[in-house]
Amino acid sequence: MSSRRNFLQKISFSAAALPFMSLKDTAPAAVEKNYDGPVLRVAIMGLGSYGTRVAEAMQQCTKAKLVGVISGTLSKIAAWQARYNIPAKNCYNYENFDAVKDNPDIDAIYVITPNALHKEQVIRVAKAGKHAICEKPMAVNAADAQQMVDACKKANVKLLIGYRMHFEPKTLEVIRMRKAGEFGAIRFFQGLSGFVIGDPSQWRMNKALSGGGAMMDIGIYSINGARYMTGEDPVWVTAQETKTNPAKFKDGLDETIQFQMGFPSGAVASCLSTYNMNFLDKFYLNGEKGFAEMQPSTGYGPIEGKTHKGPLTQPHITHQTLQMDGMAALILENKQPVVPVDGEEGVKDMKIIDAIFEAIKTGNKVSLSWQK
């Protein structure tokens, strides 16, 4: 399974049908069918293809409910109102959504817009007194990401990042096995993340909006995956960039990056991020006593994998359904996930991306420090 962009490239629905495609065949009901507790009321900002995917998945949630929308396109707002029964008072555009501070019927806003817009929009959400959920990467660099964290702390609201894999059952089983020592000391991680990007005019190929190329889109999966699979944060990175089509991948838009990371334990990682190769969605974890292999490892699912003990057989539930219910539990009940999804987690990934770009620019090994 490829990334969400690759998936959307290949489906054959028309542009008109895409915003409301049915996901019922891949969205079984969440586990807690008889849940009778508080519900997180969410507005989605950015009504594109991934916003649609989240909205459809939320129809199966028990702890989170879609109640509002924020968009610059009036026709999308009208269509979402009709489909999801959203009242007019919960509909905003990008200019007036600060008024949500006076709307007690919205608890949180999920920002699903181009990367470069996240910082300003999340800070505005925080100033409006609403919890912020931000799609990854959370910003275009670590400095901007830290400003987002600081703004949410100042406003006393939560900032969560859209790490759906942190709630995925097979992924969590591998993490459980690693924590239980079933792999022994971790020695090596490999992460392969890539697909051939399509339309060159899309915002992801505009550095001003994306902040970069493949690394800011698909490469972050291997970065974050290396961290939750090994259970460590890297202390150094090295990286090399390959560009075969400079006309398409202009300055600041990376096509293919190979990068390596070293961890405090001595474990190492070798990863690939690319917009020029399909069928790359694989994690491999090697320990002194065993291994885990996942392919696909981060696609929409079902995730497939095995360890030295046999196949991973945990059930598939739509990732965004699990994510939104898990985030609702975190916000409403302070129930912490196995792997953090807070803003600080997102800042770490951005620091690693910054270091990778620095390593490419200088040709040097770049050290990372996690002291506050």
What residues are labeled active site? 136, 221
Q: Fill in the DSSP letter of residue 252.
A: T
Report in angstroms the alpha-carbon separations of 63 from 42, 43, 72, 175, 324. 11, 14, 28, 25, 8
- What is the distance between the alpha carbons of residues 353 and 21, in angstroms, rounded to a whole number? 33
- What is the distance between the alpha carbons of residues 33 and 48, in angstroms, rounded to a whole number? 29
Query: DSSP readout, 158-211?
Result: -EEE--GGGG-HHHHHHHHHHHTTTT-SEEEEEEEEE-----TTSGGG-HHHHS
- What is the distance between the alpha carbons of residues 229 and 107, in angstroms, rounded to a whole number? 32
Report in angstroms the alpha-carbon separations of 26 from 22, 88, 320. 9, 30, 11
- What is the distance between the alpha carbons of residues 297 and 219, in angstroms, rounded to a whole number? 13
Beta strand pairing call for 236-242 and 366-367: antiparallel
Q: In b/e form, how buried is each residue of 342-371, taking b as 16+ CB within 10 angstroms?
A: bbebbbbbbbbbbbbbebbeeeeebebeee
In three-state secondary structure terms, 64 is: strand
CB atoms near residue 199 (< 10 Å): 9
Least Cα distance to 21 among 31, 7, 40 occurs for 7
Residue 320's φ and ψ, nearest 5 degrees, are: -70, -25
Least Cα distance to 340 among 138, 182, 64 occurs for 138
CA 58 to chain centre: 16
H-helix or E-strand containing 44?
strand 40-45
- Largest CA-CA distance found in the chain, in angstroms, rounded: 58
